Every structure is written in C-alpha cells, then in structure tokens.
Structure 1
Amino acid sequence: MRTWLLARVHLGTVAVLFVLTLSACLLVAGLPRAMQTSYDEALRRALTTAPAVQTDLTVTVESHGQNEDLRERAQFDSRDRLWREILPAGLRPLTTGAGHMSAKTTLTPITGTSGGAYVNLGWLSDADRRVDWVQGRAPGAPATSAYQGETIPVFEVGVVEEALPEMGLKLGQTIMLGENDYAAVKIVGVFRAKDPGARYWSHDSDILHVIEQQPPGGQDHVKHITTLMSDAGLTALSGEGRNLSYRWVLPLDARAANALDVPGLRAAAAEFDRVVGLQTTGSPYRVETALSKLLGDFLAALSTAQTVMYLVLGGLLTVALGVIVLAVQLLADKLDHTLTLARARGGSLPQVAGTAAALTGLAVAPAALLGYALSFLVPGPVLPIVHAGPAIVVAVAVGFAAVRPALVHRTPLHGSRGDVATARPSAKRITLEVLVVVLAPAGAYLLRARGLSASGGQDPFLLVVPVALTAAAALITLRCYPYPLRLLVRLTSRGRAAVPFLGLTRAARARAGSLLPVLILLPALGVSVFAAVVSDGIATTQRTASWQQVGAPIKVTAESEIPAEVIERVRGLAGVEQVVLAQTGRVQIGYGAERAEAIAVDVAQWRRLLVGAPVGLPPLSDGALVSPELRGRGTFEMGWQSRVKLATRGVIESVPGFHTQGKFLIVPIGVQTRPAVNTLLIGGDVALPELARLVPSAIVTSQESALRAIQDDPLTSTVRWTLVIVTVALAAYALIAVVLSLVIGAAERALAVSFLRTLGLSERQAQRLTVLEILPMIVVTALVGLGLGLGLPAALGPGVDLSSYAGDLPVGDYSLDLFLPSALTAGLAAVAVLGAYAHTAISRRRSLGAVLRVGDLP
C-alpha cells in the first residue's frame, strides 16, 4: 500500500501525532540536560562559596627534630612536585593552579606571660605576591643572641597592621618566645594584605588576623598572631622544642568540576590521602581537606533532587507515551477499514502490520529527530537519556502501531460482537490486581517506617512506591468505576426522562478498552498535582527559612556597640517604621565555666515586628526564655554586665535570626544596667546600602535578600522550574488525552446518537446524552488523580528530604491548596463538555444516510 497516499488522506491525525512526538522528545531530551547543567552549576557554587581551607587539598606534616626539618625552599619544591605526581587522575583537572607552601609554629608563648599571649613564627612561599610592606622593611636573615647563658636564634619578622594595637606590639620591638627552648623575634616590618578578601587567606587567617581563643576551662580569651619571616629564616627554624608543621596547598579549581564526577572525586580524595600516607619516612604525612564532606553533602542534596526529578519526569514520559499511543490508536482506527479490505483481498499479516507501522513511523521518526536536534539548543552535557528518550518514544509508537493491527487482523474479515459490554476477568488477572492494590500501600508504609536506605545513591524502593500507588489507584478506579454508575442507572430508570438513563447506562457499560485511554488522566493529574504541591511546599518553607535566618524584615548587627546618635539617624531614615534595640553576647550561667548566648530585647516590640511572619516568639515581660539545653533550672543566675537572677518563663526551640541549637536565652533588655546595643531589628522598606552607610562597621541583612539567596541557588531554582514545566506539560497532555478519547469514540457514539435520532432524540438531548456518557469517567479519574497527587507527598514521607532547597528547614507543610488541582479538574470537565457539544454539532450536519446503512435498522 502507498504510505504517502495514506498520510495525505489522514493528514490531520498524522500532524497531531507529529506534534505530540516532537514535544515529548524535546522534553525528555532537553529537560535532563538543563537539569544536569544546574547540578554542575550548583556543585561549582558549593565549592566556590566554601572556604578554600575546606575545598583545597593540603598535605601537612609535623617536624619533631632536626632530622625532619626542612631548611630551604628547594626541599619544599621537591615535595610539591611529588604530591602532584601521585595525585589521582580524577583530581588533576581540578588542581592545575599554582599552590603555595608554608611553615608555621603553633602555641609559641611570649616568655613570661604563662600562656597569656602567643606569637608564632610563619613562612609563606609566596608572601612577596600576597602582602605589601607598609611600615619598616621585609624580614631578612636570622641572627643569634645570648640569653641566659645560651645562644638563641633571633628571627626578623613582620606582623599584620591590626596586630600592633591588638597585641600591644611595636615596630622595632624584640620579643622573647618560649618557656624552655627560647627564641627571639625582632619586628622589622608591618604588612597589609594586597587582597584581604581572597580565598587564599582562609588557609592563613592566623597571619592576617589576631585570633582570640578561650582555653578549655578558662574564663579569659587568649590572643594569637602568626608573624612572617623570610626564606632565610627557614635555616634556623626547627621543630625540636616547639610545635612546627609544614603545609603544601593544592588549590581546587571549581570551574572544572561537574556533578557526574562527584562519586569519583570522593574516591580520588580518599585515594590521595592513602598514597600520601605511604610517602612517610618520619612523622606521618596526611591530607587535610573537607572536600569529601562537601561532596557528600552535595550528593545528599543532589540525590533528593534526582529522586524528585525521576518521579516527575518518569510520570511525564509515561503520560506522553500514553497520549502518543492514543494518537496511534486514533490513526489505527481510521486505517481499520483500509486494512480490513486489504486483508480480505489477500494481504498478509506482515503487510497489514507493516503498513500501519510505516505510516506511524513516517509521522514520529522525523518528529523525534527534530525534537532530539532541538534539545541541543539547551545547554548541558549529553546524557544517555538524551539519546535513549526519543528512541523509546519512537519504539513505543511504532511497536504499538504494528502490534495492534496484527492482533486485530489475525483473520480476514474479522468481526466482533457489539452487544457484549464486558468480559469476566480471569482468576490470574484478579489475583495480580489484588496483589498490586495490597502491596502499594504496604510499600508506602514501609517507606515511611524505614526511611531511605543508608547505602547512599538512589533508593529503588523510593522510585517503585509511587509507581505502585499510581497503578493501584488506576486498578481501583477501573474496577470500581461502573458500580456507583449502575446505582445511578437504577435511580434514573425510575424516572420518565430517557436521556439520563441512556447516558449513564452507556457510561457504566463502557468496555475496559474504552476506559483505558481516559485513565491516562490518572498519572497525568497525579504527577502534576504532586509537582504543584511539592513546589508550593518548597516556596512556603523557603519563606519561613528566610524569616528564621534574619528574624526581622531588616537586621543590623555589629560586634561593638552602636552609638545612640547613629540609632537616631537610623530611626529618621525614609521608610523606617519601627526599630527594636537588642544586645547580644556570651554570658556566664551560675558561677562555673558554663556559658550561653544571650539576647536582651524588648520581646513585645519584637513580636509586633513579626506580625504576619511565619515565625514568632512567646510573650515575655520578666525572667527568661531558654533553650531546651537550659530547661528545668527554675530560677538561675546570669552574669553579664552584672549578676542577675532570672526565672525561667518558657522554653523555645530557636530564636529567629539568631540561634537554632545550643545553649541560648532571651531576657528583657531592662535587666541590663546600661544596654550596649549592638543589634537593630528594623521594620519597614528602606534601602540596605543606606543602612550600611550609616553603620559601616555592621552587617546589614534583610528577609527579602535571604529569600532571594535561597531561591537563586541553582539546584533549588532547577527543582522548582522543572516542577512548573512538568505541571504545565502534564496539564496539556491531560487535556489532549480528553480530546483524543472523544475523537476515538466519535464514530461509535455518532452511530448510537443517529439510531436514537430516528426515534425522535432532539439535538439538545443528544448533547446531554454525550456529556453524561463522557463526563462521569473524566470527573472520577480527575478526583482520583487529585487524591493521588495530594497523598503522594505524605506517602513518600521521609523518603524525599527537600530541606536542601528550603534553607535547611524540613519541607513538611504540604498545605492542601486546591486552586490548581480544582482548575485542572474544571478544565478537563470543560473540555469534555465542549467536546461533547462539538461532537453533536458535527454530527448534526450529517444526514442519517451517511451514518446508517441498509440493514442497520431493524
């Protein structure tokens, strides 16, 4: 048979099949690429925003004697080359940049301070490129001096600017170090970092800043600073008698990272640590990095994203294939007369099946190629699904087109009885269906009870349960749908109107084959509602997380007290409606070493500031609100500016904008003798740069900026946009499925209506009859799909942890916002009604002779 002629005759159906295949292939090939691009971008952002000391590979070793000392730069360079030679292949593309080396002492006390202050010795291999000398000169070679009858080294060093006032140091000063093995340092220069904000300095923050630490059990903070010395200083620096360590930093270039390589990167990091340890000749070499943890955290977030994407994209592909199969079935129905005639004239079964397959392939193959080609306009790596997706679509469409005619036309002049409404299912089929219906809720219960598997990666159980629940809902709908309709049929049979009885009777006696096309609506609505509910839950939790992070519309925090005149200027800014004063600090609980974080604030004013926000605080007029770690103490004493006795007035799990764990408490600001305000909680609409200008030493944040930061994360935005795209696509496919189901049954419906028209059925009655025949199944399926979509988030429970996309807050508030599901259901019902009216309008133009043949009427 002539395939091109058949395509021209059935051009409309072929065009519909072409468009459906094109859209399905574009979605199934393009969305995974866009998702993988966002995964890569999210990984690079995670590695870039993390401190370099966490992402970079740092090889470190301690020196405990002269035989382990490195006295010249060449010794450092040779080991640097060794580390790069033994670096696993997976890490080499990410560590191509030049690193740096260092030698530092730790806990080197100033003589006579009994550990009250520490000045450590340090050397950086690239100090000349990192700092500018603003006072004095760069350090030179060390000298020697006599001290208590011994000859000790005197190191020329430089210190950072801020160390002079903070540590009480002076240019030209000589300081004795050590309590046993003495050394001296002479401050000959003062430096300033060329780029103090560079990631580089996270490895050497002890050189750039004075570090304050509180010894265990101590009450006073101890200050540490690390100085800089020249290459020549290495000749006198020894690990004998002091804590000396050497470091080689291999910086990580996140721009070369991609999410597909994350498991390999974790394995390569572990392998690098192992092979570095094998190079040990004295003290052990080890690799210090948090790369494995960062990658593990990313994998956890990625696994959740992939799980959600697998669920919604799997549902999208299933529905798209179902709609394409419906279109193929429509084309097959139109070819049925032609294929029957060909079979009766001696055409072989392969010829008949081949003709249907060739015509289908003529429509879907170019569409699949075009959709596949258009997917390359989407930036991203070419994943296996990009190739496999269009191939699956073509294979399913052509395969169904070949198999269906082969089964229908097994014998020439095939016929079937039109008076058989249903066939009794076999015992095996009933057993299988009951098994699916029982196992699906059992699987959902087990998933909630056990959570995700601890092995990492994708949990197959999580992917199977939604499919099983959808299949169970479809089976229940398919089997139980006729029974309530038969009850309605009995009720309508007692009335005098014939249309309700006939319409509901035809709906109740619909064959399983005619019900299955409409059941495509079930996964379409289920997945689209699930996607909408999850997207809404993420959005709601993101807003809550932003308020939890900031605690007010705008928050201004400073390390030191904010002057009263500055506060008044802030109050006078345009847009400022309310300013709540607060003081934060670390306080003593009781008289021991126990410490807690305290906030002194007017809670009543703060509560007014949080009106309408998703977070809040209990009222407090006196006493204290304490964290769970401080509960059960009744009245306790707090040491801050003065000793204050406070009664416990309540327990709070967190303080918005301040604390979520640990020991903390809120007290009225009036308990302070003179509040030293260092935090402002501001309500209103004011420009953040203006606030930053007024309080230059403070950090200014807002709830809106925190929300944007959460929403702009690549992984988060991809999950939400994919959910939106899938929701829209599934809604469109659901509407197309309704239209196709109307068209597929149009011929049989037209015949029935034509018979009834000979008996006096009016046009209005024909429209009502068609609506009553179609609408019940659509409404029932839509309601079941709605229930399935609303129930899936609760059924999956702990299996889908979306906190990574909502500011690290668990997403559990899946509120039943029925607007979108109701809109989808109403839209499907409207399409069904319009289709019924359109069908009867078209049938009205036909004469009865065009539908009924001689012998059709009794």
Structure 2
Amino acid sequence: MRTWLLARVHLGTVAVLFVLTLSACVLVAGLPRAAQSSYDEALRRALTAAPAVQADLTVATQSSGRPEDLRERAQFDSRERLWREIVPAGLRPLTTGAGHMSAKTELTPVTGTSGSMYVNLGWLSDADRRVDWVQGRAPGAPTTTRYEGGTIPVFEVGIVEEALPEMGLRLGQTITLGENDYAAVKIVGAFRAKDPGDRSWSHDADVLHVIEQQPPGGKDHVKHITTLMSDAGLTALSGEGRNLTYRWVLPLDARAADAMDVPGLRAAVVEFERVVGLQTTGSPYRVETALPKLLGDFLAALSTAQTVMYLVLGGLLAVALGVIVLAVQLLADKLEHPLGLARARGGSLRQVAGTAAALAGLAVVPGALAGYALSYLVPGPVLPIVHAGPVVVVVVALAYAGARTALTHRAPLHERRDDVATARPSARRVTLEVLVVVLALAGAYLLRARGLSAAGGQDPFLLVVPVALTIAAALITLRCYPYPLRLLVRLAARGRAAVPFLGLTRASRARSGSLLPVLILLPALGVSVFAAVVSDGIATTQRTASWQQVGAPVRVTSESEIPAEAIERVRRLAGVERVVPAQTGRVQVGYGAERADAIAVDVTQWRDLLDGAPVGLPPLSDGALVSPELRGRGTIEIGWQSRVKLATRGVIESVPGFYTHGKFMVVPIGVQVRPAVNTLLIQGDVALPELARLVPSAVVTSQESALRAIQDDPLTATVRWTLVIVTVALAAYALIAVVLSLVIGAADRARAVSFLRTLGLSERQAQRLTVLEILPMILLTALVGLGLGLGLPAALGPGVDLSSYAGDLPVGDYSPGLLLPGALAAGLAGVAVLGAYAHTAISRRRSLGAVLRVGELP
C-alpha cells in the first residue's frame, strides 16, 4: 500500500503522534540525566562539606621504640609512595592531590602540673606552606641539657599565637615534659595559620587551637596544645617512653566523585584498609577515615531519592506509553476502512499489519530520534535508560499498531457489534483480579509494618507495592463503574426525558476499547497527585526545619558576652522590631559531675516572637522546662552563676534553634544574678551583614537563609523539581487522554447522534447526550485517581524516608488542601464537557448523508 499517501491523508493524526512521541522521549531520556547529574553534585558537595579529617584517607601507626622511629623526611616520603601505589584503582582518581605527613606525641604532660596541662610535640611536613611566623623565629635543631642527673633532649618549638596567653606561656620559655621519661621544649616562635579555613587544618586542629577537655568525673578542664618543630627535630623524637603517632594524609578530591561509583568506593576503602594492614613491619598500620560512613549516609539519602524517582518516572513512562497507544489507536481507527478494503481485495494479514506499523513508524521513529537528540541538551551523564527509553517507546507503539491491526483484520470483512453490552467475565478472570487486589492491600500493610529492608539499596517491595495498588484501583474501577451507572439508568428510565436514559445507557455499555483511557487517567492522576502531595509535604517540613534550626527570624550568637552597648545598637537598627536577649551555657546539675545545656530567656517574649511559626514553646513564668532525659526529678538544683533550685514545669522534646537531644533545660532569664547575654533573638526585616558589623564576635543566621540552604541542596532541589515537572507532565497527558478518547469515539458517537436527530433530537439535547455519555467514566476515574494519589503516601508509610530533603526532620504531614484535587478534577471535567460541545458543534455542520448510509434510516 502507499504509506506516504496514507500519511498525507491523515497528516493531523500523524503529527499528534509525532509530538507525543517526541515529548515522551525527551522526558524519559532527559529527566534521568538531570537526576544523575544532581546526584553527582550532591555527592561532591557532601564530601566537600565534611571535615577533611573525615573524608580523607589517613594511614597511621604508632612507634613503640627506636627500631620503629622515623628519623628523617625521606623515610616518610618512601612510605607515602607505597601508600599511593597500593591505593585501589577505584580510589585513585580521588586521591591525586598533594598530601601531607605528620609526627605527633599525645598526652604529653607538663612536668609538675599533675596532668592539668599537656604540651605535645609535633611535626608537619608542609608547615612552611601553612603557617607564618609572627613572633620570634622558626624552630631549629634540637639540643640537650642535664635534668635530674641525666641528659634529656631539648626541642626548639613554635606554638600558635593564641595559645601563649591561654596556656600561660611566653617566648623563650623552656618547659619540661613528662613524668618519668623527660624531655624539654624551648618556645622560640609563635605562628598563625596562613589560611585558617584550609581543609587540611581539620587534621591538625590540635596544632591550631587549644583543646579543652573535661575528664570523666572531673570538674576542671584540661588544656592540650601541640607545638611545631623542624625537620631536624625528628632525629631526637622517639616513641620510646611517650605516645608517638605517625600519619600520612591522602586528601580526597571530591570533584572526581561519581554517585554511580559509591558502592565501588566503599568496597575500595575496605580493600585499602586490608592491604595497608598487610604492610605491618612492627606496630600495625591502620587507615583512619570516616569515608565509608559519609558514603553510607549519602547512599541512604540517594536510595530514597531514587525510589521516589523510580515511582514518578515509572508512572510517567507508563502514562506516556498509554497516551501514545491511544494516538496509535486513533490512527488505526482512521485506517480501518482502507485496510479492510485492502484485506478484502486479497491483501495478506502481514501486508495490512505492516502498513499500519509503517505508518505509525513514520511518526514515532522521527519523534523518538528528535526527543533522544534533544535530551542531550540536558546536562548529565548518559545512563542506559537514556538509550533504552526511546527504544521502548518506539517498540511499544509499533507493536501495538501492528498487533491491533492484525487482530482487527484477521478475517476479511470481519464485522462486529459495538452496540451490545460486554460479555460477563469468566470465574477464572474474576478470581485473578480479586487475588491482585488482595495482594496489593496485603503488600501495603506489610510495607507499613516492616518498613524498608535492612539489606540496603533499592527495596523491590517498595517499588512493587505502588504498582500493585494502581492496578488494583484500576481493576476495581473497571469492574464497579457500571453498577452505579445502571442504578442511574433505572432512575432515568422512570422519567419522561429520553436524553438522560440514552446518555447513561451508552456510558454503561461502553465497549472495552473505550476503557483504555481509564488505564491512563488513573495512574496519571494517581502519580501526579502523589508527586504534588509529597512535594507539598517536603516544602512544609523544610520550613519547619528552618525554624527548628534557627529558633527565630534572626539569631545572633557569640561565644563571649555581647556588650550592652552593642545590644542597644542592634535595637536601634533599621528594620528591627523586637530583640529578645538570652544566655546559653553548660550548667552543673546537682553537686556531681552531671552537666546539661541551658538557655535563660524571657519565654513570654520568645513565644510572641515565634507567633505564627511552625515551632514554639509552652509558657513558662518560673521553674524550668526540661528535656525527657531530665524528667521526673521534681525540683532541680543547678549551678550556673549561683546555686538555683527550680521546679520542673514541663517536658519539651527540643528547644527551637538550640537543642534537639541530650540533657537541656529552659529557665527564665530572671534567675541569673546578672545575665551574661550571648544570644539575641531578633524579629524584623534587617540586613544580616549590618548585624554582623555591629556584633563582630557573633555568628548571624536567619530562618530564611537556613531555608534556602535546605532547598538549595542538589538532591533536595532535584527531587522537588522532578516532582513538579512530572506533576505538570502527567496532568497534561491526562488532559490529552481525555481529548483523544473523545476523538476516538467521535465517529460512533456522531452516527448515534445522527440517528437520533432523524427522530427529532435537538442540538441542545445532543450536547447533553454526549456529555452524559463520556462524563461519568471520566469523573469516576478522576475521583479514584485522586484518592489513589492522596492515599499512596500514607500507604507507603515508613518506606519513603524524605527527612534527608527536609533538614533531617521526618516528612509525615501529607495533608494537602483541596485546591489541587479540585483543579485536576475540574480540569478533566471541563475538558470533557468542552470536547462534548465541540463534537456536537462539528457534527452539526455535517449532513446526515455524510454519516448515515442508505438503508440505515429508521
């Protein structure tokens, strides 16, 4: 047959099929690329945001005596080359950066301090690149001195500038270290970090800052500082008699990270740890890193994101294929007469089916190729689905076109009756459908009861249950929708008007082919509403999380007391409406070593400041609000500025902006003799840089900036944008399905209306008849689809943990308003009604002779 001639005759239908195929292939191939690109960016950001001491690979060992001591830089360099050689291939692209080495003693007490002050010896291979000497000079070679009848080494060291006053030290001072194996250090210089924000300093925080620790059961804090010595100092540094640790740091380059390689990276780290352990020559070597935990946390968030993506993208693909099948069916209906004539004139079944498939291919293949090419405009890696998605679309469209045509024309001039009711289903089919419904409900119950599998990765159960629920809802809809219609038909039969009876009767006797839109509309509405509900739940929880993180519209916190003059300047700042001062700190509970976090604040003013926010506090005028760990104690005595006894007035799970777990309490600020304000809670539209300028020692945060930080996370942004795009796409496909279903049944409907027009049916009656015929199925499907979409989040329950995208708060508030369901239902009903009126308007311009054949008039 002349395929090109048929394509030109039915150019409009071919063009519709081309556009639908193009849009489906763009979405199916483009969205996964965008999602995978965001996964990669999220992994890189997670590794970059983590402290280097957690993300980097650090090989460490301890020296227990002179045979294991490393006395010169060359010995460190040779071992670093060894570590880089045995790094597994999967980790090598991430460990190409220049690392550094160190030698440090630990818990080296200052002689005579009874363990209250520790000054450790340290050496950094890249100290000349990382520090500037601001006082004195750089350390030189060690010397010796006599002490208690023996000779001990004297190390020349430098110390960070801030430690001199804090530790009570001075330049030129010589300090004796140890309690039995003595050594001495001479402080010859003080340094500052060239770049305190350099990630590598997280490995050496003990060099850059004084570390204060409180021993278990102790009341006083113990101070630690690590000094720096020169390369020459290594010759006298020994692990004999002191805790000496050597470390080689292989920094991680997050720019080379790929989310698809995360399982392989975790395995590579384990392999690296195993191989490093085999290099032991004395004291064992070990790998210090939190990279497996970082990758595991990322995988947990990624698994949830992928699950949501699989659900919505799988639903999008199914709906897109259904709409394309509808368009193919429309094309096949238009070809039914010429292909039937060709079959009657001796055309083989293969020729007829091949012609239909070839005509569909003229639209589908170019559309798929164009959509596949346009998907490359979306940045991101090329995944297998990028190639497979368009192929699936083409295969399904061509297979349906050929199979349907072969089935329709399997016998020449095959006639069928479309005006009779469908046959009653067999007992076997009914049993199978009931089994599907029961299994879907049981699966939803088990998913809620057991949660996700502990094996990690994608839980197949989570992916199967939504599909089963959708199929069950579709089966129930298809089987049950005739019964309410038949009841309406009986009621309409008692009336005098014929239009309601005829319209509802035709709707209840719709042939099986007209039920295909149900299988499209139901998942389209279900998935789109599910996506919208989840997106709304994430947005609501994100806002709650931002308030939970900050605790006020704007918060100013300082480690030291904020002067009263600075507070007054903040009050007078333009845009400031209210300032609530507060004091935070650690308090002693009772007279023992128990400690708790506390905030002293005017709770009434704070509650007024939080008016309208999704977080809050119970009222408090006296006493204290305590955490669950402190409940049941009645009156609590605390030591802060003075000893205070406070009655417990309530138990709170968290304090917005401050405490979420552990032991904490909220007390009135009046319990302080003289409040040392170190926190300001501010309401108003105020510039954050101006606040930072007025209180230089403070950290300024706002609820809006915290919300932006949560929303700007790559994984979070991708999940929300994908949900929005899928919601819009599925709503559009649902509307297209309604239009196509109207067009597919247009010929049969026009023929019936033309018959009735010969009996005196008016134009207005014809419009009402058409609306009553198509509207019941669409409305019923819309209601079921909306119910399915609203119920899926609750049905999945703990299976979808979206807290990673909502500031680590669980997303459980799936209570959308009626705007979205109403808009979707009204949109579908409106399109159906408009289609009905348009159909009757078009049919009115046709003559009866163009529709009815001779002999068909009553």
TM interval, short-chain normalised = over 0.9
Instruction: Please name the residue that 1:797 is paired with.
Output: 797
* Matched-pair contact (CA < 8 Å) for 1:489–1:504: yes
**Cα drift, residue 766 of structure 1:** 0.2
Instruction: Please name the residue that 2:442 is paired with.
Output: 442
The one-character-per-residue Cα deviations of 1:168-202 (angstroms, maximum 9, x if unpaired) are: 11111111111111000001111111111110100
Following the alignment from structure 1 to structure 2, what is the Cα–Cα distance between the partners of residues 722 and 636? Answer: 51
**Cα drift, residue 135 of structure 1:** 1.1
Q: SS of the counterpart of 2:430?
A: helix
Following the alignment from structure 2 to structure 1, what is the Cα–Cα distance between the partners of residues 423 and 378? Answer: 49
Structure 2 matches for 1:153-232, cutoff 5 A? 153-232=153-232
* Matched-pair contact (CA < 8 Å) for 2:418–2:511: no
Instruction: Please name the residue that 1:603 is paired with.
Output: 603
**Cα drift, residue 857 of structure 1:** 2.4
Instruction: Please name the residue that 2:722 is paired with.
Output: 722
Instruction: Please name the residue that 2:829 is paired with.
Output: 829
Instruction: Please name the residue that 2:700 is paired with.
Output: 700
Instruction: Please name the residue that 1:560 is paired with.
Output: 560
Q: SS of the counterpart of 2:452?
A: coil
* Matched-pair contact (CA < 8 Å) for 1:688–1:701: yes
Does 429-438 or 814-823 show the bigger shift? Answer: 814-823
Identity within the alignment, %: 88
* Matched-pair contact (CA < 8 Å) for 2:444–2:795: yes
**Cα drift, residue 512 of structure 1:** 2.3
**Cα drift, residue 516 of structure 1:** 2.1
Q: SS of the counterpart of 1:552?
A: coil
Instruction: Please name the residue that 1:498 is paired with.
Output: 498
Residue 311 in 1 paired to residue 327 in 2?
A: no
Residue 110 in 1 paired to residue 110 in 2?
A: yes
**Cα drift, residue 855 of structure 1:** 1.4
Structure 2 matches for 1:611-622, cutoff 5 A? 611-622=611-622
Following the alignment from structure 1 to structure 2, what is the Cα–Cα distance between the partners of residues 783 and 636? Answer: 57
**Cα drift, residue 815 of structure 1:** 1.1
* Matched-pair contact (CA < 8 Å) for 1:478–1:512: no
Following the alignment from structure 1 to structure 2, what is the Cα–Cα distance between the partners of residues 698 and 22? Answer: 55
Give the letter aligned to residue 456 of structure 1: G
**Cα drift, residue 420 of structure 1:** 2.2
Q: SS of the counterpart of 2:447?
A: helix
* Matched-pair contact (CA < 8 Å) for 1:174–1:185: yes
* Matched-pair contact (CA < 8 Å) for 2:542–2:710: yes
Instruction: Please name the residue that 2:769 is paired with.
Output: 769
Instruction: Please name the residue that 1:373 is paired with.
Output: 373
Q: SS of the counterpart of 2:793?
A: helix
Give the letter aligned to residue 242 of structure 2: R
The one-character-per-residue Cα deviations of 1:138-178 (angstroms, maximum 9, x if unpaired) are: 11100000000010000000001101111111111111111
Structure 2 matches for 1:29-40, cutoff 5 A? 29-40=29-40
Q: SS of the counterpart of 1:276?
A: helix
**Cα drift, residue 818 of structure 1:** 2.0
* Matched-pair contact (CA < 8 Å) for 1:532–1:724: yes
**Cα drift, residue 261 of structure 1:** 0.4
Structure 2 matches for 1:220-259, cutoff 5 A? 220-259=220-259
**Cα drift, residue 542 of structure 1:** 0.1
**Cα drift, residue 508 of structure 1:** 1.0
Give the letter aligned to residue 563 of structure 1: P
Following the alignment from structure 1 to structure 2, what is the Cα–Cα distance between the partners of residues 485 and 418? Answer: 19
Give the letter aligned to residue 291 of structure 2: L
Instruction: Please name the residue that 1:13 is paired with.
Output: 13
**Cα drift, residue 453 of structure 1:** 0.4
Q: SS of the counterpart of 1:647?
A: strand
Instruction: Please name the residue that 2:123 is paired with.
Output: 123
Instruction: Please name the residue that 1:586 is paired with.
Output: 586
TM-score w.r.t. structure 2 length? 1.00
Structure 2 matches for 1:485-564, cutoff 5 A? 485-564=485-564
The one-character-per-residue Cα deviations of 1:81-110 (angstroms, maximum 9, x if unpaired) are: 000010000000000011000000011111
Instruction: Please name the residue that 2:817 is paired with.
Output: 817
Instruction: Please name the residue that 1:353 is paired with.
Output: 353
* Matched-pair contact (CA < 8 Å) for 1:518–1:738: no
The one-character-per-residue Cα deviations of 1:386-415 (angstroms, maximum 9, x if unpaired) are: 000000000000000000011111111101
The one-character-per-residue Cα deviations of 1:584-631 (angstroms, maximum 9, x if unpaired) are: 010011111100001100000000000000000000011100000000
Following the alignment from structure 1 to structure 2, what is the Cα–Cα distance between the partners of residues 315 and 636? Answer: 57
Aligned length: 858
* Matched-pair contact (CA < 8 Å) for 1:525–1:734: yes
* Matched-pair contact (CA < 8 Å) for 2:528–2:726: yes
Give the letter aligned to residue 633 of structure 1: R
Following the alignment from structure 2 to structure 1, what is the Cα–Cα distance between the partners of residues 515 and 483? Answer: 14
Q: SS of the counterpart of 2:88?
A: coil
* Matched-pair contact (CA < 8 Å) for 2:474–2:518: no
**Cα drift, residue 418 of structure 1:** 3.3
Residue 742 in 1 paired to residue 742 in 2?
A: yes
* Matched-pair contact (CA < 8 Å) for 1:626–1:648: yes
Give the letter aligned to residue 709 of structure 2: A
**Cα drift, residue 426 of structure 1:** 1.7
Give the letter aligned to residue 461 of structure 1: F
| CA-based RMSD | 0.6
Instruction: Please name the residue that 1:76 is paired with.
Output: 76
Q: SS of the counterpart of 1:555?
A: strand
Instruction: Please name the residue that 1:643 is paired with.
Output: 643
Instruction: Please name the residue that 2:402 is paired with.
Output: 402
Instruction: Please name the residue that 2:477 is paired with.
Output: 477
Residue 66 in 1 paired to residue 66 in 2?
A: yes
Following the alignment from structure 2 to structure 1, what is the Cα–Cα distance between the partners of residues 467 and 777? Answer: 22
Does 812-821 or 440-449 show the bigger shift? Answer: 812-821
Instruction: Please name the residue that 2:54 is paired with.
Output: 54
**Cα drift, residue 432 of structure 1:** 1.1
The one-character-per-residue Cα deviations of 1:689-729 (angstroms, maximum 9, x if unpaired) are: 00000101001000000000000000000000000000000
Following the alignment from structure 1 to structure 2, what is the Cα–Cα distance between the partners of residues 417 and 659? Answer: 73
* Matched-pair contact (CA < 8 Å) for 2:360–2:398: yes
Following the alignment from structure 2 to structure 1, what is the Cα–Cα distance between the partners of residues 650 and 520? Answer: 54
* Matched-pair contact (CA < 8 Å) for 1:121–1:228: yes
**Cα drift, residue 282 of structure 1:** 1.1
Following the alignment from structure 1 to structure 2, what is the Cα–Cα distance between the partners of residues 513 and 731? Answer: 22
Following the alignment from structure 2 to structure 1, what is the Cα–Cα distance between the partners of residues 498 and 370? Answer: 51
Following the alignment from structure 1 to structure 2, what is the Cα–Cα distance between the partners of residues 417 and 780? Answer: 26
**Cα drift, residue 355 of structure 1:** 0.2
Runs of 5+ in structure 2 lacking a partner? Answer: none
Following the alignment from structure 2 to structure 1, what is the Cα–Cα distance between the partners of residues 519 and 349? Answer: 30
Give the letter aligned to residue 553 of structure 2: P
Give the letter aligned to residue 677 of structure 2: V
The one-character-per-residue Cα deviations of 1:213-238 (angstroms, maximum 9, x if unpaired) are: 11111111111110000000000000
Following the alignment from structure 2 to structure 1, what is the Cα–Cα distance between the partners of residues 11 and 683? Answer: 64
Residue 413 in 1 paired to residue 413 in 2?
A: yes
* Matched-pair contact (CA < 8 Å) for 1:158–1:227: yes
* Matched-pair contact (CA < 8 Å) for 2:116–2:222: yes
Following the alignment from structure 1 to structure 2, what is the Cα–Cα distance between the partners of residues 816 and 110? Answer: 64
Q: SS of the counterpart of 2:158?
A: strand
Residue 663 in 1 paired to residue 663 in 2?
A: yes
Following the alignment from structure 1 to structure 2, what is the Cα–Cα distance between the partners of residues 152 and 432? Answer: 89
Following the alignment from structure 2 to structure 1, what is the Cα–Cα distance between the partners of residues 161 and 635? Answer: 46
**Cα drift, residue 817 of structure 1:** 1.6
Give the letter aligned to residue 560 of structure 2: S
Does 412-421 or 179-188 show the bigger shift? Answer: 412-421
**Cα drift, residue 451 of structure 1:** 0.3
* Matched-pair contact (CA < 8 Å) for 2:536–2:816: no
The one-character-per-residue Cα deviations of 1:102-135 (angstroms, maximum 9, x if unpaired) are: 0000111111000111100000001111111111
TM-score w.r.t. structure 1 length? 1.00
* Matched-pair contact (CA < 8 Å) for 1:518–1:737: no
Runs of 5+ in structure 1 lacking a partner? Answer: none
Give the letter aligned to residue 855 of structure 2: G
Following the alignment from structure 1 to structure 2, what is the Cα–Cα distance between the partners of residues 26 and 706? Answer: 34
**Cα drift, residue 440 of structure 1:** 0.6
The one-character-per-residue Cα deviations of 1:635-685 (angstroms, maximum 9, x if unpaired) are: 121111111111100000000000000000000000111110000000111
Following the alignment from structure 2 to structure 1, what is the Cα–Cα distance between the partners of residues 736 and 725? Answer: 16
Residue 339 in 1 paired to residue 339 in 2?
A: yes
Q: SS of the counterpart of 2:415?
A: coil
**Cα drift, residue 816 of structure 1:** 3.0
Instruction: Please name the residue that 2:624 is paired with.
Output: 624
Following the alignment from structure 2 to structure 1, what is the Cα–Cα distance between the partners of residues 621 and 577? Answer: 23
Following the alignment from structure 1 to structure 2, what is the Cα–Cα distance between the partners of residues 491 and 86? Answer: 83
**Cα drift, residue 519 of structure 1:** 3.2
Does 848-857 or 307-316 show the bigger shift? Answer: 848-857
Instruction: Please name the residue that 1:710 is paired with.
Output: 710
